[in-house]
């Protein structure tokens, strides 16, 4: 066994150990108690959290990917600079500020939270779509044109399949980040598991804090896993990065 392997094993098992220790500590102090004693509230919060993530991610998906495809078309190339910088700008504003700004326009509640999360998910999806399409070898496009493929055929048969890995990685990043950021929805009255997290912070109550934070974490890990499975199905075998083959 080489050094690298030994180190990676040590790191891995120490992480497992820490996680186990954490759960032992949390369970022995009955910090997960609220999940069971207030299970109907818990389920409602989980449902709200998932709704926030689903709606905002779906909207972002519908805007960012077609947008990324559009700016990589020859006739829209010149617009790329403007679009990319606008999207980048959206990302540089702190998430709390976006929420606060949106309150003044949309009021408080679900729609404000969804809008802020939507803005936040755009960049990773859009940027990876553009990067994925841009990274395709010019020669492939040249060969495709030279063989008489129409632009639509080039898009669906060459560009999108070969950019799929990058695009899906962007979608995964955006959604996983989104699950974490959705905890902030509490601030604008959007509900979700953030309600318990913030309650826990305000009351110095570890029970609420952990009953809210751990499910968010587990949800993020689970969704990440699901999306990786989806990736394996969608990305064509030949265009996956070599280490995944």
Residue numbers at the binding site for another protein (CB under 8 A): 137, 139-140, 142-150, 153, 157-158, 161-162, 236-239, 242
Nearer to another protein among residue 107 and residue 236 (C-beta): 236
CB of 223 to another protein, least distance (A): 26
CB of 212 to another protein, least distance (A): 43
CB of 229 to another protein, least distance (A): 19
Contact (CB, 8 A) for 182 and 192:
yes
Nearer to another protein among residue 12 and residue 232 (C-beta): 232
Instruction: For residues 20 and 159, give the distance between their C-alpha atoms in angstroms, rounded to a whole number.
Output: 45
CB of 236 to another protein, least distance (A): 4
Nearer to another protein among residue 119 and residue 163 (C-beta): 163
Instruction: For residues 172 and 169, give the distance between their C-alpha atoms in angstroms, rounded to a whole number.
Output: 5
Which pair of structure tokens corresponds to residue 159? 């560009």
Nearer to another protein among residue 48 and residue 128 (C-beta): 128
Nearer to another protein among residue 56 and residue 72 (C-beta): 72
- Phi, psi angles (nearest 5°) of residue 149: -85, 140
**What is residue 19's three-state secondary structure?**
helix
Contact (CB, 8 A) for 178 and 121:
yes
Instruction: For residues 52 and 55, give the distance between their C-alpha atoms in angstroms, rounded to a whole number.
Output: 6
CB of 62 to another protein, least distance (A): 24
Sign for the CA dihedral angle at 127, 128, 133, 137 comes to positive
């Amino acid at each position: 066994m080489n050094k690298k392997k030994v180190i990676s094993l040590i790191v891995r098992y120490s992480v497992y150990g820490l996680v186990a220790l954490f759960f032992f500590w949390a369970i022995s102090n009955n910090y997960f108690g609220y999940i069971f004693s207030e299970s109907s509230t818990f389920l409602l919060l989980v449902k709200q959290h998932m709704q926030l993530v689903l709606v905002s991610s779906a909207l972002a998906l519908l805007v960012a990917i077609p947008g990324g495809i559009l700016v990589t078309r020859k006739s829209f190339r010149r617009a790329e600079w403007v679009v990319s910088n606008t999207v980048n700008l959206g990302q540089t504003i702190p998430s709390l500020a976006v929420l606060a700004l949106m309150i003044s326009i949309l009021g408080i509640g679900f729609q404000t939270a969804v809008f802020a999360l939507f803005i936040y998910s755009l960049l990773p999806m859009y940027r990876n779509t553009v990067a994925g399409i841009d990274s395709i070898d010019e020669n492939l496009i040249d060969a495709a044109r030279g063989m008489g493929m129409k632009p639509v055929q080039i898009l669906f048969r060459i560009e999108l399949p070969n950019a799929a890995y990058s695009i899906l990685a962007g979608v995964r990043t955006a959604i996983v980040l989104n699950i974490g950021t959705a905890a902030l929805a509490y601030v604008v009255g959007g509900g979700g598991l953030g309600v318990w997290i913030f309650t826990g912070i305000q009351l110095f109550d570890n029970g609420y804090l952990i009953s809210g934070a751990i499910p968010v974490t587990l949800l993020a890990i689970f969704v990440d896993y699901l999306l990786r499975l989806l990736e394996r199905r969608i990305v064509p075998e030949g265009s996956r990065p070599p280490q995944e083959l």
